[in-house]
Amino acid sequence: MALMACVKSLFILQLLMGFVFVVSGLIINFIQLCTCVLWPINRQLYRKINCRLSYSLWSQLVMLLEWWSGTECTLYTDQATVDKFGKEHVITILNHNYEIDFLCGWTMCERFGILGSSKVLAKHELLKVPLIGWTWYFLEIVFCKRKWEEDRKTVFKGLSQLRDYPEYMWFLLYCEGTRFTETKHQISMQVAESKGLPKLKYHLLPRTKGFTTTMQCLRGTVSAVYDVTLNFKDNQTPTLLGIVNGKKYKADLCVRRFPVEDIPTDEKECAIWLHKLYQEKDALQESYKKEGKYPGPTIVPRRRPWTLLNFMFWATLLLSPLINFACGVVVSGSPLLIIGFIVFLIIASIAIRRLIGVTEVKKTGSSYGNPEAKKQN
DSSP 240-298: HHHHHTT---EEEEEEEEEEGGGS-SSHHHHHHHHHHHHHHHHHHHHHHHHHSS-SS-E
Give the Å distances, CA to CA, from 82 to 69, 109, 219, 234, 304: 25, 12, 22, 26, 16
What CA–CA distance (Å, rounded) separates 356 from 116?
Answer: 21
What's the rounded Cα separation, in Å, for the pair 72 and 98? 16
Q: 347: exposed, middle or buried (C-beta count within 10 Å: 0-12, 13-18, 19+)?
A: exposed
d(CA 94, CA 120): 11
Give the phi and the psi of residue 247 in degrees, each rounded to 5.
-75, 135
* 92 strand-pairing partners: 172, 226
Name the pairing type of β-strands 170-173 and 90-94.
parallel
| Confidence (pLDDT) at 3 | 74
CB neighbours of residue 121 within 10 Å:
24
State the CB neighbour count (10 A cutoff) for residue 364: 16
Q: Say what the pLDDT of residue 58 is.
A: 95
The DSSP output letter for 121 is: E
Residue 6's contacts (CB-CB under 8 Å, 6 or more residues apart) are: none
Contact call for residues 244 and 359 (beta carbons, < 8 A) = no
For the beta sheet containing 119-123, the strands, ordered from the edge strand earlier in sequence to the opposite edge, are 142-144, 119-123, 170-173, 90-94, 224-232, 250-259, 72-76, 298-299
Closest C-alpha among 375, 326, 324, 299 to residue 146: 375
- Beta-bridged to residue 91, according to DSSP, are 171, 225
State the pLDDT at residue 337. Answer: 77
Q: Which residues of the chain have pLDDT under 50?
A: 364-365, 367-377
Distances (CA, A) of 255 to 59, 75, 80, 234: 22, 7, 12, 20
The pair phi, psi for residue 93, each rounded to 5°, is -110, 125
Closest listed residue to residue 18, CA positions, set 340, 346, 367: 346
